[in-house]
Amino acid sequence: MTPTTPTPPFRADHVGSLLRPAAIADARKAGLTGAELTAIEDREIPALVRMQEDVGLKVVTDGEARRAFWHYDFMGMLDGLDIIETGSDALGFKGATISQVPQITAELDFPADHPMLEHFRKLAQMTTVCPKISIPGPSAVHFRVTPDNNKHAPYADQDQFMAGIAATYKKAVQAFYAAGCRYLQLDDIFFAYLGDEKQRAIRAAMGQDPDWLIDRYAWMLEEAIKDRPADMIIGMHMCRGNFQSTFVATGGYDAAADAIFNRTSVDVYFMEYDTDRAGGLEPLALLPKGKKRVLPGFITTKTPELESMDSLRRQFDAASNFVDMDQLGIAPQCGFASTEHGNKITEDDQKRKLDLVVRLAQDLWGEV
């Protein structure tokens, strides 16, 4: 970033994924890969960037338009991890069958030529505001790799496995910094999943205590980011599933709040808060005083209806009972297309939601 580039944290932000442009979606459906697909992505993504700039955002992403999934693309590009087909549902979304799962086959590592480093470099060349990339957080690797799919013998020891994940992500953080990234977002949604009683029971059946997982997930995250340079901002997103406007989990942040707020040095928290499924605002009281910022997702990406400014102001009035307004901002509750399928909204709906984010930030804080 240049000295004139806006620097994070911002009052108005978004989680990252955007509805895929039709040309990219059509190319993928037609089976295009490699250089042919990349050329179409390179042609279409600048318009996504301009749309974000046009609504007044000071931070932009590439919309994750080069990915099929918010997490599996990144994970499958790691050394030692393969994405395999199971032939049966693996993610638990109602009315959907997503049969891919990650499998550990060797020692984990972040390769120097990980394709998303180049994705970020290309994004940075497209904008004069702050470029941000979102990647799945360390918890995504552990949570999605079931014991049956952990084929690397030493990693049967969970402490070794988690140490391997943390070391891989530590290397990734440094690599993105070297690529010019000063705003990196880690989508560690499984802290929120572990507030759901059904999800907790599933983990317990695997022999994994849910509260122990929360503690270790916080440790992995902090190990990955603690040695980052001082001018690198780390964001963290949490939600409960977002496939074609559906969800998986329900439950508040109570079990995870202390771990995420006080045992990690994350700077910006993107927290889903668009429905009662996210629980109450009380956990926000555990945010320490200082520079950390929470962006409660009162604006949903799952449905097209536009929230009213009055209702959003009332929600921030309620949030301010637990955390100072100066430590708050606004972002939608999740991405608009966590997978290439996209949520059940239109591109116009998406733009109106992002415009609302900017207008609300200007109304409440006088800045974006």
pLDDT of residue 314: 98
pLDDT of residue 85: 83
Measured at the alpha carbon of residue 224, what is the angle toward residues 152 and 294, in degrees to the nearest 5?
Answer: 130
Q: Residue 93's pLDDT band (boundaries 50, 70, 90)?
A: very low
Q: Residue 249's pLDDT band (boundaries 50, 70, 90)?
A: confident
Q: Where are the domains of the chain?
A: 22-68+108-365
Cβ atoms of 268 and 328 closer than 8 Å: no
7 - beta bridge partners? none
Residue 230 DSSP code: T
Question: What would the two tokens of residue 214 be?
Answer: 């929360």
Helix/strand/coil for 295:
strand
- In this predicted model, what pLDDT tens digit does every residue of 299-314 receive, in sequence order? 999 999 999 999 999 9
Closest listed residue to residue 239, CA positions, set 274, 200, 208: 274
- In this predicted model, what pLDDT tens digit does every residue of 11-26 receive, in sequence order? 999 999 999 999 999 9
Stated length of the chain:
368
| Average confidence (pLDDT) over 147-175 | 96
Q: Residue 88's pLDDT band (boundaries 50, 70, 90)?
A: low
Residue 118 CB contacts under 8 Å (≥ 6 apart), including other chains: none
- Give the amino acid at 94: K
Tally Cβ neighbours within 10 Å of residue 281.
Answer: 20
With tokens 């895929």, the residue in question is: 20
Cβ atoms of 257 and 238 closer than 8 Å: no
Sign of torsion over alpha carbons 325, 329, 334, 336: positive
With a pLDDT cut of 90, the percent of the chain lying above it is 89
pLDDT of residue 89: 55
At residue 97, does pLDDT exceed 90? no
Buried-state track 293-329, b at ≥16 Cβ within 10 A, e below 16: bbbbbbbbbbebeebeeeebeebbeebbebbeeebbb
Residue 156 DSSP code: G
Put the strands of the sheet holding 268-272 in their side by side order. 133-136, 183-187, 233-238, 268-272, 293-297
pLDDT of residue 87: 66
Mention the CATH class of domain 22-68+108-365: alpha beta
Cβ atoms of 211 and 205 closer than 8 Å: no
At residue 60, does pLDDT exceed 80? yes
With a pLDDT cut of 70, the percent of the chain lying above it is 96
Sign of torsion over alpha carbons 334, 335, 341, 343: positive
Q: Give the separation between CA 9 and CA 264, rounded to whole angstroms.
A: 17
Judging by DSSP bridges, how do beta strands 133-136 and 130-131 pair with one another? unpaired
- In this predicted model, what pLDDT tens digit does every residue of 22-48 receive, in sequence order? 999 999 999 999 999 999 999 999 999
At residue 361, does pLDDT exceed 60? yes
pLDDT of residue 90: 53
> What is the pLDDT of the chain when averaged over all its residues?
94
Burial of 242 (0-12, 13-18, 19+ CB in 10 A): buried
Question: What would the two tokens of residue 132 be?
Answer: 């941000």
| Average confidence (pLDDT) over 333-350 | 94
Cβ atoms of 181 and 232 closer than 8 Å: yes
- In this predicted model, what pLDDT tens digit does every residue of 250-291 receive, in sequence order? 899 999 999 999 999 999 999 999 999 999 999 999 999 999
24-30: list long-range contacts, CB under 8 Å, 24+ apart: 24/65, 25/340, 28/68, 28/340
pTM score: 0.95
pLDDT of residue 36: 97
**Helical (H) or strand (E) element with 297:** strand 293-297
Q: Give the separation between CA 324 and CA 289, rounded to whole angstroms.
A: 8
